[in-house]
């Protein structure tokens, strides 16, 4: 646990490095996705599905890289394997970072957890893990449709909330 806190503290206290801002060149073109998946075959299926729907993809190699990317960019979609850069799914640094975000910022991310332990679309497990949706590895072939439907449902659910924030000048 202390190692995770130190990783989060390292990222938070790090000085500005332009190399950590991978989307400066994108501007307003399309949605962005962060794919944190250690298995190359699963990562390819996920990225191919997201690219088909127009997402610009970032694939960090480590938790540190993922945290640096999220430090300067709000990703529209985050696909995170619960075992990304950790042996214990309960101590996933990326998930801990997202859990501790200010809620108005966190709600702008759509977080998908890839898991062997939970069923696809298990709402109680998703709530417990502080993610928007869960996809079991066995259903990874349907990842594109699941994420697309989940994002649409999430936008519809939080539409009034997001509109209110915009009117108040908080977004």
* Percentage of the residues of the chain whose pLDDT score is greater than 70: 82
Residue 12's pLDDT is what? 59
Confidence of residue 169 (pLDDT cuts 50, 70, 90): confident
Distance separating alpha carbons of residues 80 and 98, to the nearest angstrom: 11
* Tens-place pLDDT, residues 1-19: 555 556 666 655 555 455 5
* Tens-place pLDDT, residues 148-158: 999 999 999 88
Average pLDDT across the chain, whole number: 87
Distance separating alpha carbons of residues 32 and 102, to the nearest angstrom: 20
**Quick check: pTM over 0.85?**
no
Assess if CATH 3.30.300.30 describes domain 30-167. Answer: no
Strand positions, DSSP E, the chain: 32-36, 56-58, 77-81, 110-115, 133-136
* Tens-place pLDDT, residues 80-119: 999 999 999 999 999 999 999 988 788 889 999 999 999 9
């Amino acid at each position: 646990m202390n190692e995770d806190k130190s990783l989060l503290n390292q990222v938070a206290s790090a000085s500005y490095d332009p190399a950590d801002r991978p989307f400066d060149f994108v501007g307003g073109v399309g949605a962005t996705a962060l794919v944190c998946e250690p298995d190359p075959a699963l990562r390819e299926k996920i990225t191919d599905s997201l690219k088909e729907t127009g997402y610009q993809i970032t694939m960090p190699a480590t938790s540190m890289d993922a945290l640096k990317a999220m430090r300067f960019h709000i990703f529209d979609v985050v696909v995170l394997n619960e075992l990304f850069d950790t042996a214990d799914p309960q101590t996933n640094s990326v998930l801990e970072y997202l859990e501790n975000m200010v809620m108005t910022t966190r709600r702008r991310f759509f977080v998908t957890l890839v898991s062997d332990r939970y069923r696809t679309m298990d709402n109680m497990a998703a709530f417990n893990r502080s993610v928007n949706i869960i996809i079991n590895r066995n259903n990874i072939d349907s990842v594109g449709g699941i994420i697309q439907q989940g994002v649409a449902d999430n936008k519809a659910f939080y539409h009034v909330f997001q509109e209110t924030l915009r009117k108040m000048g908080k977004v």
